[in-house]
Amino acid sequence: MQREYETQVLEFDEDEVIKTLRKLGAKEEPEILQKRWVLGNNENGNWIRLRESGGKTTLCHKKKLDKSISGTREIEVEVGDFDKMADLLMNLELFKEKYYQENKRKLFELDGIEFTIDSWPLIPKKLEIEGKSEAKVRDGLELIGLAGKDEGHIGMKEIYRRHGLDIHSFERLTFDTKPTKANFTLDI
């Protein structure tokens, strides 16, 4: 498995980050809708993600060892058809937990570092910085003036929990999703 180097910033000024990245000459991609199936996300940090993002579909196994910048391992392959692969995975009946999720992503690339501004249903936007090494991720934070403001790679389950929501209470999480009493966590 390859090591993933990524951190998240939950509280940031989106306009300021975009302005800084543009000023630095970052390559900017248009915002895209991502859709995914997350399968088997369990307490030992293993899960499968099928994701369609900007016309590219990937299947990925992730193993979260800890919440540090380098604490996640992954194996990812490109697949041809999101819907057919989802159907295949659902028919295997290997996974008790199955969640469909959507988000919107705006990507900037600079010096081998990816900066993504992600919009998820029901919560504020978040910023992810990903690079080929922990040093590159830290360089990215420094470039945009957010050194020391990152949370590590805490994951969406924790981010939703911090907003009083249980992401796994939503079998389908889209921008049309409305929260219910059953979606809220007790330990805010």
Q: How confident is the model at residue 35 (pLDDT cuts 50, 70, 90)?
A: very high
Which own/partner pairs from 72-78 qualify as long-range (CB within 8 Å, at least 24 positions apart)? Answer: 72/3, 72/4, 72/6, 72/153, 73/1, 73/2, 73/3, 73/4, 74/1, 74/2, 74/4, 75/1, 75/2
What pLDDT, on a 0 to 100 scale, did the predictor assign at position 186?
Answer: 58
Pairing of strands 98-110, 172-173: parallel
Where along the chain do its domains lie? 2-183
Whether 9 and 146 have beta carbons less than 8 Å apart is answered as yes
What pLDDT, on a 0 to 100 scale, did the predictor assign at position 40?
Answer: 82
What distance in Å separates the CA atoms of residue 127 and residue 153, rounded to the nearest whole number? Answer: 11
- Taking only the tens place, the pLDDT of each residue in 54-101 is 999 999 999 988 889 898 899 999 999 999 999 999 988 888 889 999
**Which element (helix H / strand E) includes 115?**
strand 113-119
What pLDDT, on a 0 to 100 scale, did the predictor assign at position 42?
Answer: 62
Which listed CATH number (3.40.30.10, 3.30.390.10, 2.40.320.10, 3.40.640.10) goes with 2-183? 2.40.320.10
pLDDT higher than threshold 90 for residue 179: no
pTM: 0.89
- Taking only the tens place, the pLDDT of each residue in 161-170 is 999 999 989 9
- Taking only the tens place, the pLDDT of each residue in 118-157 is 999 999 999 999 999 999 999 999 999 999 999 988 889 9
Q: What Cα–Cα distance (Å) separates residue 71 from each residue in 3, 9, 38, 64, 133?
A: 7, 16, 19, 6, 12
